[in-house]
């Protein structure tokens, strides 16, 4: 299991330069860039929360655990980076929304409770289903940023989300049994 976690961490889907908080995003930006980051921070925070819940499960499948660890590490680091950009742009983080509007793959409180209560294979399956839909929502948000943003840093980050989270979706789908159906059309 440690080897799988280590290999997965080494092949993290987030490029290494995105894992370090950065203020390189200073400069030209627009309202779409700010809105994207302000919404992506709580979106990423929920992915961290989902992963943390899965990691409390003693009978979780080692491959699912490795995926949860990888997602948790990458997205927690990206939260710090996004906060750094917003601060550099003069955005007051204290005045920023602390939650994400429903949609875009956000998990409901009932779904969080269900994951909290699930055990064994049911917990693995529910985590993968929820995270696939969650990632699809992030990809939809990133497409909006790529189409409407102005900051080259935020737009590059959005492109990275689209590619890295699609790869993670592909991996997570291989972990699911064929009888699982996942909602693939989150509305944003």
Query: 95-103 contacts: CB < 8 A, separation 24 or more?
Result: 96/38, 96/41, 97/38, 97/39, 97/42, 98/42, 99/42, 100/39, 100/42, 100/43, 100/46, 101/39, 103/137, 103/186, 103/187, 103/188
The whole-number pLDDT of residue 18 equals 41
The whole-number pLDDT of residue 99 equals 64
In this structure, which topology does domain 30-175 adopt according to CATH?
Answer: Ferritin (1.20.1260)
The whole-number pLDDT of residue 100 equals 64
Which range has the worst mean pLDDT, 23-32, 121-130, 163-172? Answer: 23-32
The whole-number pLDDT of residue 177 equals 66
pTM greater than 0.85: no
Mean pLDDT of 154-165: 97
Mean pLDDT of 16-33: 62
Residue 143 reports pLDDT greater than 70: yes
160 backbone φψ class: left, alpha, beta (φ>0; ψ -120 to 50):
alpha
The whole-number pLDDT of residue 95 equals 82
The whole-number pLDDT of residue 178 equals 56
The Cα–Cα gap between 156 and 17 comes to 12
Residue 110 reports pLDDT greater than 70: yes
The Cα–Cα gap between 184 and 174 comes to 15
The Cα–Cα gap between 156 and 16 comes to 14
Residue 41 reports pLDDT greater than 80: yes
């Amino acid at each position: 299991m440690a080897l799988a976690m280590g290999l997965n961490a080494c092949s993290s889907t987030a490029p290494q330069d995105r894992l370090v908080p950065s203020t390189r995003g200073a400069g030209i930006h627009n309202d779409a860039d700010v809105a994207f980051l302000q919404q992506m921070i709580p979106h990423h925070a929920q992915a961290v929360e989902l992963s943390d819940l899965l990691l409390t499960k003693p009978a979780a499948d080692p491959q699912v655990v490795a995926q949860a660890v990888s997602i948790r590490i990458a997205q927690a680091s990206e939260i710090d980076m996004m906060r750094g950009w917003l601060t550099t742009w003069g955005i007051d983080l204290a005045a920023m929304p602390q939650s994400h509007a429903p949609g875009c793959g956000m998990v409901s409180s009932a779904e969080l409770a269900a994951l909290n209560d699930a055990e064994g294979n049911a917990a693995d399956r529910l985590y993968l289903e929820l995270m696939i839909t969650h990632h699809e929502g992030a990809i939809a948000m990133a497409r909006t940023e790529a189409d409407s943003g102005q900051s080259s840093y935020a737009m590059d980050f959005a492109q990275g989300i689209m590619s890295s989270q699609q790869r993670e979706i592909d991996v997570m789908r291989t972990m699911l049994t064929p009888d699982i159906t996942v909602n693939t059309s989150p509305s944003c």
